[in-house]
Structures are given as structure tokens and as C-alpha cells.
């Protein structure tokens, strides 16, 4: 058993129960802009920044769309529901138990503004030594960049990190980074 020297957590769907709220915001925005985005596809693109999802949907559906502006609109719609965000206790407890013992980071496909607001709302921002978000890396999940950057910022070699995720793309990114991957969906199913 290798020694784990750093922990890295995804935020949405891992530390914070935000996915149903994100889905509601997506429904409003895709209807408003006449885009088709079924729920199974929403969950399959977990961890992908909104701007990238919108660019992909517009291209696939032959729509002309300012994906940056519409992504901003989607985030603003989501922010109105921030007060409803609840912690995912089983995962937050792991972070609380390890606070002050080993370095920890958040690695999220969300934006710095929103992820920090969610962590502050849950009163867990201070548990983490670093928060890495989509603007800080070039390649998004399933590329390992976001997890590698989180490891770099907490000063731990990737092979000595354990990372927690709730999506296939995120788990793929963790494994590509050479880290131990924990699928929180399995923890929560118990």
C-alpha cells in the first residue's frame, strides 16, 4: 500500500451536491437558446466547462452562438440557486478528518468565482491549500492537467495523491495523472 501524501477533490457532485441545480440552470439556458441537451448527456459531460459544452452543442446543432456569453448566462442562472447547495457529507468528512495532516486541493472544471463561492457557502474553503479551476489549465478533463496542477500547487508528487471524483471524465483524468482514483458514487451508494 503506497503512502498517500496529498488529497485532491472535485467539487460539483463530489464535495457539493450541485448537479441537480446545474441541470436546472442548463434546462433554462438550452430552452432559451433552442439547443437540445438531454439529461444523460449533461451527466456524461460532468467536469467539462460550460463554455466548452455550449461550443460543442452549437457546432453539432448548426447554431450560431456566443458560447462565452451564454456560459456566463448559465453561471448567473446557477448562482441564483447557490443558497440551496448542500454538502456531500461522506466526502466533506474525509476532507475535515485530514485537515492539517496532509495537503489538500480542489480540482474542478468550474470557474474560480463559482467554485470558491460554493466552498465558502459550505464553510469548507479553508480546508484546502489550493483551488484549481478550468481557467488555470489549457486542457480540461479527461486530460490530467487540472489534477497535475493541483498536485503541483500542494507540493505533492502525483503518484502520492489520492483524488475523489463523481464522473467518468474526472476519473479518467485522475488515472491519467497517475493518481489513486476514488469514485465517490460507489461510496455514496453504500
Q: What are the catalytic residues? A: 10
Maximal CA-CA distance, the chain: 52
C-alpha cell at 66: 456566443
C-alpha cell at 63: 447554431
Rounded to whole angstroms, how far apart are CA atoms 114 and 66?
A: 20
Helix (H, G, I), strand (E, B) or coil at 161: strand
Q: Which single residue is written with the C-alpha cell 495532516?
A: 101
Helix (H, G, I), strand (E, B) or coil at 120: helix
Name the percent of the chain in helix, strand, coil, to the closest 5: 55, 15, 35
Q: 16-17 and 86-87: which strand pairing?
A: antiparallel
Rounded to whole angstroms, how far apart are CA atoms 151 and 144?
A: 11
C-alpha R_g of the chain: 16
Amino acid at each position: 500500500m503506497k503512502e498517500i501524501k496529498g488529497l485532491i477533490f472535485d467539487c460539483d457532485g463530489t464535495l457539493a451536491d450541485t448537479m441537480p441545480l446545474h441541470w436546472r440552470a442548463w434546462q433554462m439556458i438550452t430552452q432559451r437558446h433552442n439547443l437540445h441537451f438531454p439529461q444523460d448527456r449533461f451527466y456524461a459531460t460532468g467536469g467539462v466547462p460550460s463554455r466548452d459544452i455550449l461550443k460543442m452543442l452549437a457546432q453539432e446543432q448548426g447554431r450560431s452562438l456566443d458560447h462565452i456569453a451564454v456560459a456566463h448566462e448559465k453561471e448567473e442562472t446557477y448562482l441564483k440557486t447557490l443558497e440551496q447547495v448542500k454538502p456531500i457529507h461522506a466526502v466533506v468528512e474525509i476532507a475535515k478528518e485530514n485537515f492539517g495532516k496532509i495537503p489538500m486541493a480542489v480540482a474542478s472544471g468550474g470557474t474560480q468565482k463559482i467554485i470558491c463561492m460554493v466552498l465558502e457557502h459550505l464553510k469548507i474553503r479553508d480546508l484546502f491549500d489550493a483551488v484549481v479551476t478550468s481557467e488555470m489549465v489549457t486542457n480540461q478533463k479527461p486530460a490530467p492537467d487540472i489534477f497535475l496542477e493541483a498536485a503541483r500547487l500542494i507540493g505533492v508528487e502525483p503518484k502520492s495523491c489520492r483524488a475523489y471524483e463523481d464522473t467518468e471524465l474526472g476519473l479518467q483524468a485522475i488515472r491519467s495523472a497517475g493518481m489513486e482514483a476514488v469514485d465517490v458514487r460507489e461510496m455514496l451508494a453504500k
